[in-house]
Amino acid sequence: MKKRQLQEILGFNLLRVCMVLVLLTLAFILYDIISKGAGKISWEFLTAMPRNGMKEGGILPAIVGTVLVTVITAILSIPFGMGAAIYLNEYAKDNNLTRLIRMSIRNLSGVPSIVYGLFGVILFVQAMNIGTCVLSAGLTLGLMTLPWTITASEEALKNVPNSFREGALALGATKWQAIRTNVLPYAISGMLTGTILGLSRAAGETAPILFTGAAFYLPFLPRSLFDQFMALPYHLYIMSTQHHAITQVRPIAYGTALVLITAVFAMNLFATILRYRLRKTKME
């Protein structure tokens, strides 16, 4: 009895230490970025072009570039990801082929992002001759987020009780009617949440856009989808490792990092609020 109690206390405290360590790391990162980056944030920093060899001015083109690329990513990954998930979960027969496809999708979500970047160069930039631009980068990020979107959407669909489907079918609904009126309304919040979390990860990626469209420095905003662009994560990378006056631009790097994590945090918050509101309106 004594020994079991000791084990219980020991195990519980071990888990507690793990959690505290993780939280402390996160808190330290946040503290470091906010304390060193907050001073740099100003209206000018957010709305001006970089000046004087990027040693002064703002990061507007990087913000605009990241937003544009994320929009392209969303346009690709939301419909295709949700569509594929609906097909896999509702229509595909549960056989070895489907299991193989599902396993491949799970594995694709673990492929390093640099591999997606190189794949994007070959497919979009070269083979399809789109060139290095917003569109190529967005499509590459879209491909990268698809496995996450599909997996999250499929989980959301799985959570809808089978009795909703059977009940609708038994009343003479076609399969699509049953899905549209009695499955999707209860899965959509989970599907969207998973998708937005995927997008927020994509927005912070550097490797996939490195070769497909992101530029070191541009004195102008992209005027079309076929222009190169600056992006927050890539800008951050340059400011912290590649710039010739690296100590001088350190505050800009911290400011950029703060803007980037704030954007990602805002998207995650939006996903949470969306899920909460959809669930509330649908289930009451």
Binding positions for another protein, rule: CB under 8 A: 93-95, 161, 163-174, 177, 181-182, 186, 282-284
Under DSSP, is residue 133 helix (H, G, I), strand (E, B) or coil? coil
> What is the separation, in whole angstroms, between the first and last Cα of the chain?
48
**Six token digits for residue 56:** 């002064």
- Judge whether 209 and 69 are in contact, CB under 8 Å: yes
CB of 146 to another protein, least distance (A): 26
Measured CA to CA, the distance from residue 217 to residue 52 in angstroms comes to: 11
CB-wise, 55 or 282, nearer to another protein? Answer: 282
Closest approach of another protein to the CB of residue 79, in Å: 24
Residues paired with residue 50 on neighbouring β-strands, in sequence order: 57
Nearer to another protein, 25 or 159 (CB): 159
Cα angle for residues 117, 119, 125 (degrees, 5° grid): 85
Q: Name which of 224 and 284 has its Cβ closer to another protein.
A: 284
Closest to another protein by CB, 7 or 181:
181
Smallest distance from another protein to CB 195, Å: 22
Distance CA 34, CA 40 (A): 10
Within the chain, strands assigned E span: 50-51, 56-57
Nearest to 134 by CA among 47, 228, 259: 228
Name the residue type at position 165.
R
Query: Judged by CB, which is closer to another protein: 51, or 277?
Result: 277
Pair 95, 101: CB distance under 8 Å: no
Shortest separation between residue 94's beta carbon and another protein, angstroms: 5
Cβ partners under 8 Å of residue 53, min gap 6: 244, 245
Of the pair 187, 196, the CB lying nearest another protein is at 187
